[in-house]
Amino acid sequence: MKSTEDEQPALTARSVVMSYGHTPALKGISLAIGKGEIVAVTGPSGSGKSSLLLCLAGVVTPDAGEVTFGDRRISAEGEGQRSRLRRTEFGVLFQFGQLVPELTAIENVALPLLLGGRRRSEAMTAALTWLDRFEVGGLASTRPSSMSGGQAGRVAVARAMVAEPKVLFADEPTGALDTLAGEQVMAQLIRVTRESGTTVLLVTHDARVSAYGDREIRIRDGQLDHHPARHLASVSGPDGDLG
């Protein structure tokens, strides 16, 4: 039998509202994401799905409502606390990977650990381990300009995972890749996050990418689409809509 702690969602949003100036982005969204669950958030361009990711990851603070990570109300925390949370508990992966062009693959992957105060030797060892897990260990000394799109994508995922986050936020992670490279990156990302028990919030407009999730949540015009969510696999997790 699961303990109460085990049953607690990894992430919860309650009545989250967010606007950019006078333009509403989120209009009272409530949802819960279970520990170890891979949730695909889909919707048309401008629907609010990336804004939801930014709120859940603590990158921005919603105008109203609350976001909790376990028992932490991160929407009420200061930027310093949320920044530390993103270095230690969260991994964030954006569409273009955003590798530092002047750094080698191993230096790019080690960067989050170094910024978090880890010793260089320790950080580099961990970085190489994660490069190997994504089958790009041979590129450790290679700079991004000499990598293919798929190779750079895998290095970016390794960097997002190197601190062994409890939650990975991925915003259009294959958007800059061709179909084959995108499928290779997604297959490895899902394999590694399942092995690690990592919760994944996957924002995409691509049905091929959303199919990797356990569950799909659709957003339209800043609100949840209340048509029945598509369950992509059999999972044990909380229902996505809290109200």
Each residue's pLDDT tens digit in the chain (243 positions)?
344 445 789 999 999 999 999 999 999 999 999 999 999 999 988 899 999 999 999 999 999 999 999 999 999 999 999 988 888 899 988 766 689 999 999 999 999 999 888 999 999 999 999 999 999 999 999 999 999 988 998 899 999 999 999 999 999 888 778 888 888 889 989 999 999 999 999 999 888 889 999 999 999 999 998 654 455 443 333 344 443
Domain range 11-225, its CATH number among 1.10.760.10, 2.40.110.10, 3.90.1280.10, 3.40.50.300: 3.40.50.300
Cα angle value 155/157/161 (rounded, 5°): 115
Distance CA(120)–CA(50), nearest Å, equals: 33
- 26: tokens are 């989120």
* Closest residue by Cα to residue 43 from 224, 233, 232: 224
Count of beta carbons in the 10 Å neighbourhood of residue 116: 13
Cα angle value 165/185/233 (rounded, 5°): 75
Residue-range domain boundaries for the chain: 11-225
* Residue 10 · residue 69 · CB < 8 Å: yes
